Structure 1
Amino acid sequence: MTYPPSGGTPDPYQPAQPYGQSSDPTTPYNAAPDPISGQPGGYPPPTSGQPYGQPPPYGQPPYGQPGPYGQPVYVQTPGTNTMAILALVFAFIFAPVSIILGHIAKKQIRQSGEQGDGLATAGLWLGYIFTGLMVLVCIGYGIIIAFAVSNSSSTY
């Protein structure tokens, strides 16, 4: 009987043969030379300059030598403007300061190219809104106090 059985289908009770292994159990695995490189065993020739079978060197290359992809490029992107962050924070703490910080931040961002223009704009808007609300509340208190004083009786 021949292996695999005639008919083209492998025997379902036999384990599958690994890729590249002959169906003849007496032939060692990958003993035939590779048709592309001509190396015995079908392995490609070593390309790293290391002796065949040795692992490649690990770790970083010595100082001053570029790695396999060249030297890394470090690009510093401008950060977020600190005044813009403070403008947004102070909009909730003390709004008039937020207006001042927001204008300073927008000027610095135009000059330096930093990020944070949206934060400065939000700080300005909130600063103006909360300052306006604070002024309206103070005027309302003044009206209430004036009304209370004018209607109070001073007959003691």
Structure 2
Amino acid sequence: MDTYPENPRTNVLSIVTLVTSILGFAIVPVVLGHISLRQISRTREQGRVMAIIGLVIGYLTLLGYLIAITVTIAIFVSRGMLGG
């Protein structure tokens, strides 16, 4: 009789974390990634690597947005000071 062990399920939030990070969201994958890692450690589901990759991309995206906002503010402040 062939009996195969059941494959553990993949955590849904880890998939959502990866997808939202690829789509360019920043805060959503960071929050969901931490939640999914906590769920994975508790339930022993698969998806840890996806959650970590989503977290890394999410944090890098967040950093990029913060840099862009800082540069934009610096440009507006410098132009405002020079113009007037």
Question: What TM-score results when the alignment is normalised by the length of structure 2?
Answer: 0.89
Partner of 1:119: 50
**Helix, strand or coil for the counterpart of 1:88?**
helix
Aligned residues of 2:18 and 2:29 also touching (Cα < 8 A): yes
Which of these residues, 7, 10, 14, is aligned with residue 84 of structure 1?
A: 14
CA distance, structure 1, for counterparts of residue 26 and residue 9 of structure 2 = 25
Determine the structure 2 residue equivalent to 1:144: 75
Spell out the pairing of 1:43-122 with structure 2 (5 A cutoff).
70=1, 72-73=2-3, 75-93=5-23, 94-122=25-53
How far has the Cα of 1:148 moved from its partner? Answer: 1.1
Cα distance in 2, alignment partners of residues 148 and 110 from structure 1 = 51
Alpha-carbon distance in 2 for matches of 1:92, 1:116: 16
Alpha-carbon distance in structure 2 between the residues aligned to 1:75 and 1:83: 24
* Structure 2 residue matching 1:151: 3-state secondary structure: helix
Alpha-carbon shift at residue 91 of structure 1 (Å): 1.1
Residue 141 of structure 1 and its aligned partner are, at CA, apart by 0.2
CA distance in 2 between counterparts of 1:119 and 1:92 reads: 11
- TM-score normalised by structure 1 residue count: 0.50
Distance in structure 2 (CA, Å) of the matches to 1:121 and 1:92: 13
Give structure 1 stretches of 5+ with no counterpart: 1-69
Q: Relative CO higher for 1 or 2, CA cutoff 8 Å, sep ≥ 6? A: 2
Matched residue type, 2:52: T
Aligned pairs, number: 83
Larger radius of gyration, structure 1 or 2?
Answer: 1
**TM-superposed deviation, 1:151:** 1.3
Structure 2, unmatched stretches of 5+, are none
% identical equivalent positions = 30
Measure how far apart 1:75 and its partner are: 3.3
Structure 1 runs (4+) deviating above 2 angstroms are: 72-76
Q: Judge conservation of contact 2:37–2:51 (CA < 8 Å) in 1.
A: yes
- Higher helix proportion: 2
